[in-house]
Amino acid sequence: MKYRQLGRSGLKVSELCLGTMNFGPRTPEAESFHILSRACEAGINFVDTANQYGGSLGVGATELIIGRWLAQDASRRDRLVLATKVHEPMSDDVNDRGLSSRHIQMACDASLQRLGVEHIDLYQMHHIDRATPIDEIWMAMERLIAQGKITYVGSSNFPGWAIAQANERAAARQTFGLIAEQSLYNLIERRVELEVLPACREYGLGLIPWSPLAGGLLAGAGSGADGRRQSEGMQQAIAARADQLGSFQGLCAQLDESPSSVALAWLLHQPGVAATIIGPGSIEQLESVLHVPEIVLSAQTLAQLDEIFPACGPAPEAYAW
């Protein structure tokens, strides 16, 4: 496994970040434990979750699974960079959501309890909250840091202007600010290149792409994502991009790599990316991508991928000229 610094912080994380959204609703607890253990054995030290994850099992179920796995071996916690999120509704209560100072404090305490840990390494705002002043959010985050409950703060699904606003206000408060942004980013969805990625590079945030395989669209047939690929919506998306996906799969065949592996490796070649999330639903899916950090894509291959999946271009030139 290879490691990179997470943004401008001194924290080092594995290039593959284990996403856990499948744990519970799609992946049984026993196999989730197996995936967590194998990932750590392979050198993955970065585990990402969210307080809302749990699907049909209910919010918080995924954090509880991770907590039970951590409880099996006390040494596991210190080897991991543990990340979770706050923002999404946790109940029908009008205040049990968003980024108010009250909710951030209560949600953090609840996540710590479910995970069975004393601190969270990276506490991420799951979405922007336009109703809450940024100074109120920083007040809550600073309090959690002072209490020793969180170490670093990150954002997720933030536009470029919100990243700039958050870090400018943090600087005015003489605090460290955001160190990471988790965004939708893959070969098909490249809009973060317009302003989010440039903002991350300017303010020293490491980008953590989610949905790197575009919900399975970039995984290719026989990848383990076949179940998702059989849905009506996915079949329509595949048909709409048949030529593009055919060219991509042909290039992957020339490289003797799976489409999933090439799509993940491409992200690790993009400036500003700290780690890419993988969300295996089975141990087989995990095993199939553990070698991705070792894949080196040539300049020619990167150019071919740009031809198949064109970039948006720089902002504002891409849309203003």
Locate the domains of the chain by residue range.
3-320
- Catalytic positions: 53
117 phi/psi in degrees, rounded to 5? -125, 165
What is this structure's pTM? 0.95
What number of H helices and E strands is found in the chain?
14, 10
pLDDT, tens digit, 9 for 90 and up, residues 13-62? 999 999 999 999 999 999 999 999 999 999 999 999 999 999 999 999 99
pLDDT single digits (tens) 73-126: 999 999 999 999 999 999 999 999 999 999 999 999 999 999 999 999 999 999
pLDDT tens digit string along 173-198?
999 999 999 999 999 999 999 999 99
Match 């899916």 to its residue by tokens.
285
Backbone angles phi, psi at 210, to 5 degrees: -110, 160
* Res 269: pLDDT: 98
> What's domain 3-320's architecture?
Alpha-Beta Barrel (3.20)
Rg of the chain over Cα atoms, rounded to whole angstroms, equals: 19
Q: Give per-residue burial for 226-245: e unless 16+ CB within 10 Å, then b.
A: eebbeeeebeebeeebeeeb
Could you tell me if 36 and 72 are in contact, meaning their C-beta atoms sit under 8 angstroms apart?
no
